[in-house]
């Protein structure tokens, strides 16, 4: 790992995140040490996320607690989110006939988070000049989420040697399924509660 | 290191720098607001009251524009007033004054600008701090309404020109000046010689002219006949309370009272927003790098530094 860090090869991954997600996916699959290093990205993103969100309001001294310890909680949540979504995406890939490789899926998802760090400098500018920072926070967050999703889809496409459409289907299938299940659960719950009170 | 890695390193440095700036911004905002609960940073948009601060001696600064293009001196005050008059949200302006006055021309420029705001139906209220004397009072007199604190020092209606006479010192040190001039008055108020009677009369004429203008402008701004002002327009300073007795101010009250009065005069609701000068900590930091504090600060005293004689509406204890 020490040699990997010294070689600065990890810098290339960050470069490829922005320029060529397909090459990134291929490079990550070749280098096993990229997986543990990839968990640094959610940590970096957690800190930047907390700072960007804190810029939206007049903070209290709780900010120092958030930036000292809160980011660890957010980091754990991000890692958990990546592992959970990665598992579902990998399962979806297997359902569609591709070979499963959860490590690679989680790895590409970790690196795909990296563009989110750009939220802070962008929001800092809007915040300093007082130009609708909250609006741009939401807008840029959505754009960066779409960017991350696009990186993962291209990475999956490279990983499974599949077209972009199939890779997108693999990526979005868990969201559609989980969303659908959640929606029907909510509808059934509401009907049950309504029935309970009217019966 | 190849080019691509250098780009990534640059991005990482930018991100670290952004983080540091964000932490500074958040910390400074926390200190300045002193709130105990989280509150979303929102920007007011409705009709409200603008704030202009006039702190320190008033002068037109010749070194215009710092590295960030900010104007100094009375130009900055006039610019701020101009910005507020163009801002559709601004229905009233509170001019916070803490100044002993300053040069005649700079003071008159601010006075004229405030009068223009009044003509544009923008209510202007003056709020005196510790000191609003001479030129500081001149500026206040242009406002629709003046509030002073009980202990504010004001008045000092008059004009002064001071020039040190260092002739004796020069003689003691054996220093003699070589002066080649085109006219007899070209070295008027020189510090190395006595002033002649003719020269004194010339300066006195200028002082009298400026004094008459001072009286006329105070009379116009305050809507008080000149004969009613003259008895107290002998350069005396007075407290806010005495000034109220002589109708030089309208009410005793703090800055908060001035804001409430401005809202009332402009028929704005009691919670109408206040548009102060630069409030963002990072913007303040950038301005402090070029010497402008909190947006506009006219603390310029080049005359004192270079010992240049100047005719001033200024209280000089």
Q: Write down the domain spans for chain B.
A: 1-42, 48-165+195-314
**Contact yes or no for B43 and A11 at CB 8 A:** no
Q: How confident is the model at residue A146 (pLDDT cuts 50, 70, 90)?
A: very high
Give yes or no for B15 touching A (CB within 8 A): yes
Q: Which of B278, B11, B16, B42 lies closest to A51, judged by CA?
A: B16
* Highest mean pLDDT: which range of A28-32, B21-25, B104-108: B104-108
Report the mean per-residue pLDDT for chain A. 90
pTM score of the predicted model? 0.61
Residue B293: pLDDT above 60? no
Contact at CB, B12 and A134, closer than 8 angstroms: no
ipTM score of complex:
0.81
Q: What is the pLDDT of residue B36?
A: 56
For residue B62, give both structure tokens.
């010749």
Helix intervals (H) in chain B: 3-33, 73-86, 104-119, 135-141, 167-173, 197-222, 226-229, 240-245, 255-265, 281-289, 302-306
Question: What are the domain boundaries of chain A?
Answer: 2-198
How many other CB atoms are there within 10 angstroms of residue A13's CB atom? 22
pLDDT at residue B276 greater than cutoff 60 = yes
> What residues of B are labeled active site?
134, 186
Cβ-Cβ contacts under 8 Å, B285 against chain A: none
* Set of chain A residues whose Cβ sits within 8 Å of the Cβ of B22: 51-52, 54-55, 120, 124
Q: Is B3 on the interface with A (CB under 8 A)?
A: no
CATH code reported for the domain at B48-165+195-314: 3.90.226.10
Average pLDDT over residues B33-38: 56
The token pair that represents B152 in the structure block: 């504010």
Going through B35-135 in order, the beta strands assigned E by DSSP cover 39-40, 48-55, 90-99, 101-103, 123-133
Structure tokens at A108: 């590409």
Contact B225, B219 (CB under 8 A): yes
Chain A residues with a Cβ under 8 Å from any Cβ in chain B: 8, 11-12, 14-15, 47-48, 51-52, 54-63, 67, 117, 120-121, 124, 127-130, 132-134
Test mutation, A43, A56, A57, A129, chain B, max B CBs within 10 A: A57
Report whether pLDDT(B296) > 50: no
Residue that is written with structure tokens 């701020």 in the block: B80
Q: What pLDDT is attached to residue B197?
A: 93
The two three-digit tokens of residue A52, written as one number: 């960007």
Query: What pairs with residue B154 in β-bridges?
Result: B132, B238
- Weakest mean pLDDT among A119-133, B94-108, B187-201, B275-289: B275-289
pLDDT of residue B236: 93
Question: What's the average model confidence in pLDDT over A5-34?
Answer: 88
The torsion of the CA quartet B172, B178, B184, B185, rounded to 10 degrees, works out to -70
Contacts with B23 from chain A: Cβ below 8 Å: 51, 67
Mean pLDDT along residues B281-287:
61
Edge-to-edge strands, sheet with B160-161: B101-103, B311-314, B160-161
- The per-residue pLDDT for B227 is 94
Chain B partners within 8 Å of A9 (Cβ): none
Helices A102-112 and A71-95: angle between axes, nearest 10 degrees? 130
Residue B237: strand pairing partners = B155
Percent share of chain A, pLDDT over 90: 58
Instruction: Report H helices in B148-231.
Output: 167-173, 197-222, 226-229
Average pLDDT of span A34-61: 88
pLDDT tops 60 at residue B301: no
Of A47, A127, A132, the CB nearest to B25: A127
Is residue B33 pLDDT above 60, yes or no?
A: no
């Amino acid at each position: 790992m020490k040699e990997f860090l010294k070689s600065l090869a990890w810098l290339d991954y960050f470069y490829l995140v922005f320029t060529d997600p397909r090459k990134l996916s291929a490079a990550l699959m070749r280098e096993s040490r990229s997986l543990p290093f990839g968990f640094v990205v959610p940590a970096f993103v957690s800190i930047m996320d907390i700072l960007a969100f804190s810029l939206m309001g007049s903070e209290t001294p709780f900010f120092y607690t958030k930036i000292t310890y809160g980011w660890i909680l957010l980091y754990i949540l991000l890692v958990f989110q990546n592992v959970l979504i990665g598992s579902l995406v990998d399962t979806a890939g297997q359902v569609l006939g591709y070979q499963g490789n959860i490590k690679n899926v989680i790895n590409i998802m970790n690196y795909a988070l990296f563009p989110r760090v750009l939220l802070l400098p962008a929001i800092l500018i809007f915040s300093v000049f007082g130009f609708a920072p909250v609006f741009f926070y939401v807008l840029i967050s959505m754009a960066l989420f779409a960017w991350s999703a696009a990186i993962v889809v291209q990475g999956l496409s490279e990983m499974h040697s599949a077209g972009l459409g199939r890779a997108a289907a693999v990526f979005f299938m868990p969201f559609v399924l989980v969303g659908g299940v959640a929606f029907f659960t909510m509808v059934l719950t509401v009907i049950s509660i309504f029935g309970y009170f009217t019966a | 290191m190849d080019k691509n890695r250098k780009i990534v390193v640059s991005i990482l440095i930018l991100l670290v720098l952004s983080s540091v700036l964000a932490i500074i911004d958040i910390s400074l905002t926390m200190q300045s607001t002193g709130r105990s609960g989280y509150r979303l940073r929102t920007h007011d948009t409705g009709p409200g009251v603008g704030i202009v601060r006039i702190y320190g001696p008033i002068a037109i600064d010749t070194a215009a524009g710092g590295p960030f293009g900010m104007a100094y001196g009375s130009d900055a005050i006039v610019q701020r007033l101009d910005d507020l008059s163009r801002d559709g949200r601004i229905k009233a302006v509170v001019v916070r004054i803490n100044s002993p006055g300053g040069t005649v021309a700079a003071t008159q420029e601010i006075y004229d600008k405030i009068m223009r705001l009044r003509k544009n139906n923008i209510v202007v209220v003056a709020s005196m701090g510790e000191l609003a004397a001479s030129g500081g009072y001149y500026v206040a007199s242009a406002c629709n309404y003046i509030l002073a604190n009980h202990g504010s020092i004001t008045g000092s209606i008059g004009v002064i020109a001071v020039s040190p006479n260092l002739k004796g010192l020069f003689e003691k040190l054996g220093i003699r000046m070589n002066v080649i001039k085109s006219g007899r008055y070209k070295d008027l108020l020189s510090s190395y010689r006595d002033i002649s009677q003719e020269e004194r009369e010339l300066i006195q004429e200028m002082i009298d002219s400026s004094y008459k203008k001072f009286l006329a402008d105070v009379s116009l701004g305050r809507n008080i006949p000149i004969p009613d002002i003259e008895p107290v327009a002998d350069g005396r300073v007075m407290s806010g309370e005495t000034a109220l007795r002589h109708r030089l101010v309208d009410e005793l009250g703090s800055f908060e009272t001035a804001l409430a009065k401005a809202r009332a005069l402009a028929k704005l609701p009691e919670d109408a927003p206040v548009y102060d000068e630069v409030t963002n900590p990072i913007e303040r930091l950038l301005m402090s790098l070029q010497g402008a504090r909190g947006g506009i600060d006219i603390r310029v005293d080049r005359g004192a530094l270079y010992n240049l004689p100047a005719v001033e509406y200024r209280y000089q204890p």
